Structure 1
Amino acid sequence: MANILEETLKDINREKIQLNQNEIERNNALLKQMTEYLITELKKDPFFKSIYERFFFGGSYYDGLKVGKPNEFDIDLLFKLPLNASPTIRVDDNYPGFVQVQLPTIDLLRTNPTSVDYSSMRKLVNDGNYLSIDRIMKWFQSRVDIAKNALANRADLDFAFSRTSVKNKGPAITFTIRNNATCDEFDVDFVPCFKFFNTKWPANCKPFRRELVDSKDQLTQEFLVVPKPKDAYSTTYMRLSFQGQERVLIHDKGHLKAAIRLLKLYRDKEHDEKIKSYYFKTMAMWALEDPTFRYKNATLSSIFMQLLERYINVVGKKKLQYYWNPSFNLFQESDATFLRDLHNRLLYFQKDLKSDNADKIKKHFGCDVDVGGLGGLLKGLGIKDDSGASTSTDNDQGIGSTVGAVAGVIGVGAIIGLGIWRALAHNNRQQNNQN
């Protein structure tokens, strides 16, 4: 007997999640060109050039967790701090998941000059020599604006900047890029990050995992400090990021990524924007530590139902622990009423998934459903369904191929009539052949 849930989830993945390869290649080529041009302009500033090291493609798309069109990208610009300023990570158990970065010997840049300009570096720290989020973002935005304006005046580029915005609660500067040839648009988030080698790994976090080091990816040996504030009152506590090790952690785990994408699709259908994409990756990383979690040789539906059960549990408990520091509850600022409502909806969702009813399952993902058994009727009449797969062996392809469009206009009654007409026509052909 066919596994209805398994086949339905695979259908949903094909219909709603798989990305258009041509669009991927076109946007990637344009993204690479734009990034190279922008960084070339940014490096015309001597201070930027002295602390900039490289960029990193981050976010859902490059983690293999993107849902929908390939039209949102994250690029982290990685900065290194001068060693003779003695960059130091300061942890505070009252702020799990966040750290301060202090440059206690920053004045040595003045008395012992290096390639890093002292006065410029000084503008990024407060009176206690701690990196200041406000000062970092003011500097970063000013440099990006200058570079963007320089590119905007060039006529030899394949792209143009449609809009620029700064996220209120995050460090990203978002560009909307337009393809001059197709007029298609996509968004790119540029995020400033300070990188540290694993020898400075934060003391109050899970230890550095050497087995997650990938020789082809330097970031697996590093961690990032991102000028994303803990709250509106925080100016020096910045968010930790372990993207390199996380990417290795969820890599090559069977259908795990596909299951995460399906959960994200369900979230989007329900408009639960308060549930961040990172939360699903966090649930998956915790699952991989659980010996009862089965992913090797497991079906997509099996992994999906296991992750959904975890989703229901953490929402019900109103507690999702940050993977790298379990004392940080990612739901700590979430509205209790929202989580209670979400918990009830997830239980209803889970019940429908167990119903062996493909239409009940598909409606939760925003897919077309077989209203009133129309799909079965069409199959019985030998007419093509919406997927374009013919259920008939005769040659009436013209009629079958138009049914999907006709159904939306003339309704089920007309479809039945059309089926009867086909049956009569088929019967007449048989009689003529006999004569």
Structure 2
Amino acid sequence: MMAAVAQADENAPAVAPHLHERIRNRVNQLGLRRTELQQTAKRVNDLRDGLLDFLKKNTKQPFLRSVTVLNSGSYYETVKISNPNEFDIMLLLPTPRLTWVELEEYHGLHYSVSLTRPTRSEIQAFLLADGLTISASKVLNEMRALIRNFLSTYKVPEGDGRWVLNRKRPSSPAVTLSLMCNSQDGKEEGELLSLDIVPTLEVPEAQAWPLAAQQGLKVDNWLGKKARRNLTKQCFYFVPKKPAGRNLSESAKESWRISFSHIEKELIKNHGQARTCCEGRATKCCRKKCLMLLKFLIERLKTRFPEELDRLCSYHGKTAFLHTLCRRGHDSQWAPSDLPSNFMALLLALEGHVSSGQLPHFFVPTCNLFAAPAFPRKALSCLQRALEEQMKLGLPLFQLPKPAPPLALNPNPSQPPPGTQGDLSIGLMFASIAALLCFLSVVAYSVK
């Protein structure tokens, strides 16, 4: 399967001039203004600091007093597109030494997480009946309740709207908040931005990665073997996300999903084979812009097919992107002038994963992100048709909207304004009749 994707990657077609221009015009529209970034980050940081202070003073659940923050997501990877309206924050929970058991039916992605020995510490409130297994649902529900209490007293600085708690989403590991802005008359106008708060268990560097994850992160041909060794020595995380599907076992309902979001952020920010990539004008590349374009296309496809592509997310695009970076590891292959052809190579690679139905998780290659029930076959077929359509028609979703024509009393001077053609015809008819009557009068006068 990967060989077929690599072959498609190498055989990326030449980009037609009109498509070349369309890709470049679209990527120029995806940047964020510094003022927007600063204003939005200020709102999120104020909420984050207020929440941490609230948790430290919380007497109901002392276990959560010592949480720390890990920022994650596309905003902090500097590949956010269009508007800075979605943020992710991981709240790291203080836990003793952990052990875990892989749920085999989920191919290394989901685990039952437990303490190595019984404890009398505050974490007892989040354990199952065996006194060792950490309940993902208890942690998530308690965090949700605490955040609800926090929002009841928290006020947005300068009265800039208010934060509301969103409905719980099935299988989501996050407590999602929305900042609702106000119109000039004081009524709620709509969502300004959203924030996902994810309670997280951190496994320290001293403990090795699970066996399934030790086979991933194949960056040898891109960043080198030494870089891979250093990355695999870092910590990893568990987030309270249960598997997709129905009729889950009790262990699956309380399971945790493995996460390497901090390493993903490091890979995207320090993406060059040479350690100086994008540090100066002479070392720029187009890797991040290709990812931003792919994220934009995924967003547009989800907007066009909201029900069919509900399971599609930017993480599928990011995974295809990371696999592509490993196949195209040399910095010389990502010159800024080659942006259109590199993006089309990335798009063809994604289409190859879709057509084969195989998208291996970048860190856990035994897990296929395009496998059912997590990604239904109907959704995969729809995505394949949509990608083929976009490539065949020259990426119509990338086309910029045409500017509105300027206002004018008469847009086309050569033609009469709408509704005046009939008036002109009637006027000409009366003028002709008047001229004829005048001529007859002259003739009659002459005869006399």
SS at match of 1:312: helix
Q: State whether residues 321 and 327 of structure 1, in contact with CA within 8 Å, keep that contact through their aligned partners in structure 2.
A: yes
2:115 aligned partner: 103
Unaligned runs of 5+ in 2: 1-14, 218-224, 273-284, 303-308, 417-448
Q: How does 1:355-394 map to 2 (within 5 A)?
A: 361=395, 363-365=396-398, 367-368=400-401, 386=403
SS at match of 1:328: coil
1:404 aligned partner: 405
1:140 aligned partner: 143
Q: TM-score, normalised by structure 1?
A: 0.72
Q: State whether residues 334 and 342 of structure 2, in contact with CA within 8 Å, keep that contact through their aligned partners in structure 1.
A: no
1:282 aligned partner: 319
SS at match of 1:63: coil
Matched, 1:198 2:205: yes
- Deviation for aligned residue 1:48: 4.4
- Deviation for aligned residue 1:292: 7.5
1:149 aligned partner: 152
2:438 aligned partner: none
Change (3 A) 1:131 1:300: same
2:98 aligned partner: 87
In 1: Cα distance, 2:267 partner to 2:182 partner = 38
Matched, 1:297 2:335: yes
Match of 2:51 among 28, 38, 55: 38
Aligned length: 357
Change (3 A) 1:123 1:284: same
- Deviation for aligned residue 1:255: 1.5
In 2: Cα distance, 1:160 partner to 1:220 partner = 42
SS at match of 2:200: strand
Change (3 A) 1:3 1:417: same
Q: Which range is displaced more, 300-309 or 259-268? A: 259-268
Give the residue type in structure 2 aligned to 1:94: E
In 2: Cα distance, 1:156 partner to 1:19 partner = 23
Change (3 A) 1:139 1:416: farther
Q: How does 1:319-338 map to 2 (within 5 A)?
A: 319-333=358-372, 334-338=375-379
In 1: Cα distance, 2:154 partner to 2:51 partner = 7
Q: How does 1:202-217 map to 2 (within 5 A)?
A: 202-206=210-214, 211=227
In 2: Cα distance, 1:193 partner to 1:220 partner = 19
Give the residue type in structure 2 aligned to 1:39: L
- Deviation for aligned residue 1:181: 10
Give the residue type in structure 2 aligned to 1:341: C
- Deviation for aligned residue 1:256: 1.9
Matched, 1:316 2:344: no
- Deviation for aligned residue 1:7: 3.0
Q: How does 1:25-64 map to 2 (within 5 A)?
A: 25-45=38-58, 47-48=61-62, 52-64=66-78
- Deviation for aligned residue 1:9: 1.2
Q: Which has the larger radius of gyration?
A: 2
Match of 1:21 among 5, 19, 34: 34
In 1: Cα distance, 2:312 partner to 2:320 partner = 12
Unaligned runs of 5+ in 1: 111-115, 354-360, 370-385, 387-402, 419-435
Q: State whether residues 161 and 178 of structure 1, in contact with CA within 8 Å, keep that contact through their aligned partners in structure 2.
A: yes
In 1: Cα distance, 2:413 partner to 2:170 partner = 52
1:166 aligned partner: 168
Matched, 1:127 2:135: no
Q: TM-score, normalised by structure 2?
A: 0.70
Match of 2:384 among 343, 354, 364: 343
Once the two structures are superposed, residues 165-212 of structure 1 have per-residue CA deviations (whole angstroms, 9 ceiling, x without a partner) of 322220211111246798872111111111112332212213688626
Matched, 1:238 2:233: no
Q: Give the fraction of aligned pairs with identical amino acids, expressed as a percent.
A: 22
In 2: Cα distance, 1:326 partner to 1:348 partner = 29
Higher RCO structure (Cα 8 Å, ≥6 apart) = 2
- Deviation for aligned residue 1:368: 2.0
- Deviation for aligned residue 1:249: 1.7
Q: Which range is displaced more, 335-344 or 275-284? A: 335-344
Change (3 A) 1:290 1:2: closer
Give the residue type in structure 1 aligned to 2:412: A
In 2: Cα distance, 1:51 partner to 1:90 partner = 28
In 2: Cα distance, 1:71 partner to 1:417 partner = 47
In 2: Cα distance, 1:214 partner to 1:63 partner = 20
